[in-house]
Structure 1
């Protein structure tokens, strides 16, 4: 008993263990590892403090299908990582289950390879660490309490983990997906979607009318007793209004685990039925199948050796819509509950798709060839160690990356890396439509049309908050711009740039806000970072209706017959983009631009964005008014419009009666390419 008391006294009275380095990185994600490597290459000591037991973040947790956009925008250590992936798979011994020649994403003479198995990625991150003598502390979570982060004079001096360890540094990097260190240090941040009016955007906030992917395409009843609202809603649907288009909210795009499945029988294990399985969670899935939607509700992108990076797909899939709203700011205990809910849901989904009698035989048959990869995540029952936190906190700094940056309407003059992937948000909510059916909302996938610059000021806090912290993951960005930036190659690029600036700040004894950009740029370029937007990348210029003459009817105000899609891949365009017919269902689609005109004579013009894939003979018809010219016309949309702001003159009309309704109708009948409509302009002579 005395020995026990003495031992307990010794533990309680032991001083807190202290560790110090020039650069202390919280979060062993891909960005965190790369930041540590760069710090060491610049002659600085570095420590990685990782809350889990594994390095690499999502890159080593199933996210093997690299969403890269323009691969020429990926340089430095980030590209080195993918080059090491290529080197690994150049070795014939790396192909255990599949003939290398049959894997279409392996190219023996390529500079880099962009798809990979989770365990291969983790081994490369571990190699980075061991080669550079980086000290790593795993299973150490930040004490997020009031005294967890110590500051003096606007600088972080140290932080403590829940185990009692102290980590001191000259510079700090928050490389977590959640933004825990920046929040604990008192840095400004936001969670959720801004309204479009906050940063003058078009793709932020609620997006009911713009969506075209991952929707319920069949009429599915959301009520426990079909047709009876009083019976309550089935699981996964909320009973609140979804909000107005463009309106901000605190909701988050959904999370999921990026499962690594296998179709090699010798290397797969059956999907387990989880403890606490709740069949009622999948009522919408069953009803959607029964309503006729037989799409395969998974996206299993193939990795080497017969494995996958499995992503969400269609109306009801791996994204647990609505379960994650509280996650970024939740306590560790609350996060564990949220993660357990996600895991139980997703494991239950997989078991259901493979086994449940209400799942169509065609789906169960497709599922029968899949199981979890037996040689991945072997100490976690073949389940990924980390969930895909697509979006957590986002810092608010002196420069906020927005849709304008992605479209190159605004170009930062202090680039520390390039983004180029789609502005991509997964679904955010599942609600009841006015017609009484279930629908998803929030999925946006809009191309920026090329690479764009990410500002140095977006990865450092405001000067009056913290002067020695870098945030390369939860950087300063709007929700929709973050949807493009949030790609693992970009996080690694920004991690390297952050560590480079940290080393320069240490050498000159400066705050992070005072690092001379010319010196930073010189070193980044020397280390093969890609910083400049490639030549020929034009700005996606948005033209406001209010700046145009006459009466303008935008495509968002048009009436469409058939399924048209919204896009903004080619500019310039009026307002938020344009619609196209998908080069499908010729003769079945129309776009109707209608307005009411006062008496007088009008020129009528149509706006479109030209491209080589457009139709050369687009049928246009004018209805209403007394036409002084032929009421029917054809337009070659491969040719650049000859009028200002992307318009081409269609004809003219004379309006005699007051309040004359006039229409311009664009059809895809006989089209030999994409039919595109942006706006119609009525100019009084």
Structure 2
């Protein structure tokens, strides 16, 4: 069923020429909460529009997932990516024109394969695959060039740190006691914490298909779109075939639910691992202190049944490294272990993140060392490891868990599969998306025939780039009038599965900042912005709002 949650705490390139006015201490025109790619781009756009801006980041590292391991960009149709989002990939390209950034391989040895496009496109000087430290360097240099103040490791006081007066946020306070005052606010977090603490309506989980008249939302038992399911009949029980022996770890004994109905479950998280096969830069997968080989018995059974796709998502990025993602019936996606993350306390979220890290590190050690792994797979796997030159302050492990989905605002307008699939027109676009309707698995359950199966993995091709509505970035006017939400935007679960790509988040970050600046200039609510004026500004800043070809 459709559930709306209300937070209890209602009160509690030539950018070098764009010199921002200094902010007055912790006060600025626009306050951006978040350290993601969208947050950085929103801040850059605010400066470009001559507004003072402060980035309040709970993260130490800027860039979110883009600098956290997702270097094999989910680009979709690159022709739909414009503005500052495209400039980011052009800045990455410029980094890889420097010889010193090809330390572990020669530039001409690189495969130049991207996701549906060339990794390095010489014609428009974009680079769509990259190492994590290069992405972070680009973001850090960008904010440094423009003198953007960034307060790192500052966490919103979610229980009383949002001041609201006459329908507008006036200030936010962090757990350290710092207060930041502004005229407009942008929630650029993956979790939507500012949005929720301000009392904005939101949803967690899958809506029933009946809510928005969709086909691919809700429980999807029996729908197997990608190769992330068990093709063989594999027993979920400790003693195969004996239900009295107990169930293996990582399998739910709960009923998966009624097909097409909604639930409060969310798609699985994982870490996008940066791995290397260069022996001089490689660290062998370590044995975690809490390692438990029984957690991976299901994978051993998949191998015994003939599964052999271990390396299918070892996607190449420069310098003999990968962006390694989930692939197969039992992989890096930690299915069913994140349901409470969106609304959880900070401490509980840290526990969930630690559990995901332990699971995934243990999985790597298991494949590299357990005798049940096929010899040919294990020998090849042992040539891989963690790179010495990535995430050097975090044990060479990513600092960013892949929060594929958390809260989603229910705002002025809700993006659904109808808009994404081109069945319903959007008349107020502020950006475009083009990626497949893509949801990772949501639960692993026992079928009625007694075998194990995964559920929730959906992949439906989008026929052409689609428009994203401005009204999906703003709350209902009666809730909050000066907040924009470019990541946890107003969207159904399945539509978000396409929108939730890092290039799109940067696109929407720029558009959100543009609208925020215009609202500040006019002293108006974000809901009252003149769309024609907004569109004109976006187009002048090279945002792409119409269908473009590759």
Name the counterpart of 1:485.
Answer: 499
Cα offset, 1:297, TM superposition: 6.0
| Alpha-carbon distance in 2 for matches of 1:435, 1:92 | 58
Does 1:392 find its partner at 2:406? yes
Of structures 1 and 2, the larger Rg is shown by: 1
Decide which of 349, 353, 364 is 2:378's aligned counterpart. Answer: 364
| Alpha-carbon distance in 1 for matches of 2:494, 2:329 | 21
Name the counterpart of 1:449.
Answer: 463
SS state at 2:65 partner = helix
Cα offset, 1:177, TM superposition: 0.3
| Alpha-carbon distance in 2 for matches of 1:278, 1:129 | 43
SS state at 2:331 partner = coil
Name the counterpart of 1:161.
Answer: 174
CA distances 1:564-607 after superposition (whole Å, capped 9, x unpaired) = xxxxxxxxxxxxxxxxxxxxxxxxxxxxxxxxxxxxxxxxxxxx
Cα offset, 1:534, TM superposition: 4.1
Asked if the contact 1:297–1:317 (Cα under 8 Å) also holds between the matched residues in 2, the reply is: no
Q: Which runs of structure 2 are paired with 1:493-642 in the superposition (5 Å)? A: 493-534=507-548
Q: 5+ unaligned residues in a row in structure 2: which ranges?
A: 1-23, 113-119
Does 1:411 find its partner at 2:425? yes
Decide which of 119, 126, 142 is 2:133's aligned counterpart. Answer: 119
Cα offset, 1:230, TM superposition: 2.1
Asked if the contact 2:184–2:520 (Cα under 8 Å) also holds between the matched residues in 1, the reply is: yes
Cα offset, 1:107, TM superposition: 4.5
Q: 5+ unaligned residues in a row in structure 1: which ranges?
A: 1-16, 538-685
Name the counterpart of 1:63.
Answer: 70
Asked if the contact 2:422–2:463 (Cα under 8 Å) also holds between the matched residues in 1, the reply is: no
| Alpha-carbon distance in 2 for matches of 1:413, 1:365 | 55
Q: Which runs of structure 2 are paired with 1:669-684 in the superposition (5 Å)? A: none
Between 295-304 and 499-508, the greater mean CA deviation after superposition: 295-304
Between 201-210 and 509-518, the greater mean CA deviation after superposition: 201-210
SS state at 1:449 partner = coil
- Aligned CA distance change for structure 1 residues 189 and 286 (closer, same or farther; 3 Å): same
Between 286-295 and 407-416, the greater mean CA deviation after superposition: 286-295
CA distances 1:625-673 after superposition (whole Å, capped 9, x unpaired) = xxxxxxxxxxxxxxxxxxxxxxxxxxxxxxxxxxxxxxxxxxxxxxxxx
Asked if the contact 1:298–1:317 (Cα under 8 Å) also holds between the matched residues in 2, the reply is: no
RMSD, aligned CA = 1.4
Cα offset, 1:216, TM superposition: 0.6
Decide which of 303, 326, 329 is 2:317's aligned counterpart. Answer: 303
Asked if the contact 2:173–2:179 (Cα under 8 Å) also holds between the matched residues in 1, the reply is: yes
Equivalenced residue count is 519
- Aligned CA distance change for structure 1 residues 125 and 62 (closer, same or farther; 3 Å): same
Asked if the contact 1:90–1:108 (Cα under 8 Å) also holds between the matched residues in 2, the reply is: no
TM-score by length of 2: 0.93
CA distances 1:9-63 after superposition (whole Å, capped 9, x unpaired) = xxxxxxxx97111110000100000000000010001111111211000000000
| Alpha-carbon distance in 1 for matches of 2:492, 2:122 | 39
- Structure having greater relative contact order (Cα 8 Å, sep ≥ 6): 2
| Alpha-carbon distance in 1 for matches of 2:260, 2:376 | 39
Asked if the contact 1:315–1:440 (Cα under 8 Å) also holds between the matched residues in 2, the reply is: yes
Asked if the contact 1:403–1:481 (Cα under 8 Å) also holds between the matched residues in 2, the reply is: yes
TM-score by length of 1: 0.75
SS state at 1:60 partner = coil
Name the counterpart of 2:107.
Answer: 100
| Alpha-carbon distance in 2 for matches of 1:445, 1:353 | 28
Does 1:382 find its partner at 2:396? yes
Decide which of 24, 33, 40 is 1:26's aligned counterpart. Answer: 33
CA distances 1:485-510 after superposition (whole Å, capped 9, x unpaired) = 00000000000000001111011100
Cα offset, 1:244, TM superposition: 2.4
Cα offset, 1:448, TM superposition: 1.1
